[in-house]
Structures are given as structure tokens and as C-alpha cells.
């Protein structure tokens, strides 16, 4: 199964309240009128320019083994390898919100509109994450429809550049998935353009395969440790 699809903009848009919180303003603080206006304007600009798009392709464990090996530069100890080897289903994915909104962010900064540019950047970054989540949700629904995902199943996505999977893994991922079909290019440094893009692997399997501590050497360099919340959500199912 390989599928390219557009994500409804409503599925990949934050509320003004969450945008303001993402700017570092606590929920307990009432934002001033200018901040609210900037958040609303940023959302409006994003909704008029962003085009959330995704591609997903199922792969076997053997196929992903070659993709994951990449340029043989992965960390020797990573949670990804033991998880995918025990998985039930795997799917490569890539998403983007396309180039126009990225150019608008750069334009805002170039003309000195730093506050608005920062707000749009926040909306676009979170919108890209929501687009990736929409693709994950699609895959979960697909597996549920064919009775391959139940209450004892978990689902988690990983991307090159994180969790010990070297960013050079992008090269073989692109060779297999062909995200250029949705307008994503890869440069010689393995960075994607548009910059507001995400690629990786969606892994499903029994809940217990996703249990791991964030005590790997690379975990110390992680700013968010966001995997903790996602793993906890799997275990609560």
C-alpha cells in the first residue's frame, strides 16, 4: 500500500490559545491584545498558504532493515532497531506543508516583522507535526479496518536524526518512498526542503515493544523528551 493524500487544513491548524502558549506564555497569563492579534493573523496567513500533504508506504521488516541501516552511521545502541524487529506493521511516511508558507516566514523576518514571523513559524511547525499525526491516524485506521490493530496495539513514529537513527538515513528512505512526489527534496546534508517537512517510519505492534527508558547517550541532547508522553499514552490504552 502506497498512498498520497492531502490533509484538510482544519486537521493541521492550532487554536490561537495554543499558539500563544507555544510562544512561551503560560496558560495562567492573560495575553495582551497585540499578542492575540498576532496569533490570529499568523493562523490566517498559515491557513491561506499551507498545503498539508503526505505520502505513506507499507514496508516489510526486511525492507526497512536496509532503509534503517542507511549509511551505516546509526548509534550502536538505539531503541528503534529492537522495536521494529518485533513490530507487526511498518510504514514509511513523509509530510510537508509545502514551500509557500516557508517563504512567507522568511519574508516576514527579512522586512523586520519578527513578532509575526515568529508566530507564523510556530503555527507552521506545529501544523507540520499535526500533519504527521494525521498520517499516523490514517495508518492506524487502515490497520483497524483490516483487523491488524486492536486495544493491545501501539503505534509510534520515528524520524532520521533522532533516537540514534542517523540523519543520513534520509537518503535510503527517500530512495524507497520518493517524497519528491509531494514536493520534498533532500540536499547533500540530508536536510529536507521545504524545511517544514517530516519523514520517518510508523511502527505498530503490541504495547510492550514500545517500553524503553530515555537513558541512551543521545537522550541527553534531546530538548523535549516528547517520546515519554507518547509512550505513556500507548501504555494507558
For the chain, the domains span 2-236
- With beta carbons less than 8 A apart as the criterion, state whether 38 and 31 touch: no
- Average model confidence (pLDDT) for the chain? 93
pLDDT at 37: 95
Residue 70, by phi and psi: left (phi above 0), alpha (psi -120 to 50) or beta? left
Q: State the architecture of 2-236 in CATH terms.
A: 3-Layer(aba) Sandwich (3.40)
Helical H runs in 23-113?
33-49, 61-69, 80-85, 99-110
Q: Report the percent of the chain where pLDDT is more than 70.
A: 99
Confidence of residue 235 (pLDDT cuts 50, 70, 90): low
Does the pLDDT of residue 186 top 70, yes or no?
Answer: yes
User: Residue 222 in 3-state DSSP?
Assistant: coil
Q: What is the pLDDT of residues 88-133, one digit of tens each?
A: 999 999 999 999 999 999 999 999 999 999 999 999 999 999 999 9
Average pLDDT of the residues in 136-142: 97
Q: Which of 54-58, 111-115, 221-225 has the lowest mean pLDDT?
A: 221-225
pLDDT at 166: 95
Does the pLDDT of residue 221 top 90, yes or no?
Answer: no
Which is it for the CA torsion 230, 88, 83, 190, positive or negative? Answer: negative
The pairing of beta strand 185-186 with beta strand 197-206: unpaired
pLDDT at 123: 96
Does the pLDDT of residue 230 top 90, yes or no?
Answer: no
Confidence of residue 220 (pLDDT cuts 50, 70, 90): confident
- Beta-bridge partner residues of 149: none
pTM value is 0.93
Amino acid at each position: 500500500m502506497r498512498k498520497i493524500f492531502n490533509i484538510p487544513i482544519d486537521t493541521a491548524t492550532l487554536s490561537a490559545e495554543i499558539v500563544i502558549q507555544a510562544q512561551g506564555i503560560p496558560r495562567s497569563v492573560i495575553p495582551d491584545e497585540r499578542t492575540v492579534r498576532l496569533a490570529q493573523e499568523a493562523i490566517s496567513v498559515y491557513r491561506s498558504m499551507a498545503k498539508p500533504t503526505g505520502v505513506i508506504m507499507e514496508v516489510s521488516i526486511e525492507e526497512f532493515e536496509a532503509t534503517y541501516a542507511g549509511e551505516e552511521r546509526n548509534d550502536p545502541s538505539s531503541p528503534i532497531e529492537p522495536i521494529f524487529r518485533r513490530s507487526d506493521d511498518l510504514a514509511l511516511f513523509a509530510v510537508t506543508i509545502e514551500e509557500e508558507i516557508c517563504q512567507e516566514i522568511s519574508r516576514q523576518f527579512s522586512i523586520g516583522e519578527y513578532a509575526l514571523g515568529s508566530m507564523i513559524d510556530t503555527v507552521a511547525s506545529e501544523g507540520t507535526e499535526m500533519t504527521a499525526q494525521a498520517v499516523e491516524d490514517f495508518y492506524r485506521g487502515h490497520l483497524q479496518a483490516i483487523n491488524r490493530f486492536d486495544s493491545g496495539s501501539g503505534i509510534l513514529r520515528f524520524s532520521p536524526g533522532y533516537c540514534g537513527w542517523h540523519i543520513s538515513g534520509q537518503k535510503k528512505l527517500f530512495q524507497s518512498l520518493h517524497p519528491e512526489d509531494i514536493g520534498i527534496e533532500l540536499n547533500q546534508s540530508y536536510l529536507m526542503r521545504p524545511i517544514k517537512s517530516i519523514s520517518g517510519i510508523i511502527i505498530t505492534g503490541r504495547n510492550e515493544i514500545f517500553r524503553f527508558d530515555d537513558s541512551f547517550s543521545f537522550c541527553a541532547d534531546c530538548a523535549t523528551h516528547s517520546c515519554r508522553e507518547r509512550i505513556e499514552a500507548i501504555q494507558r490504552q
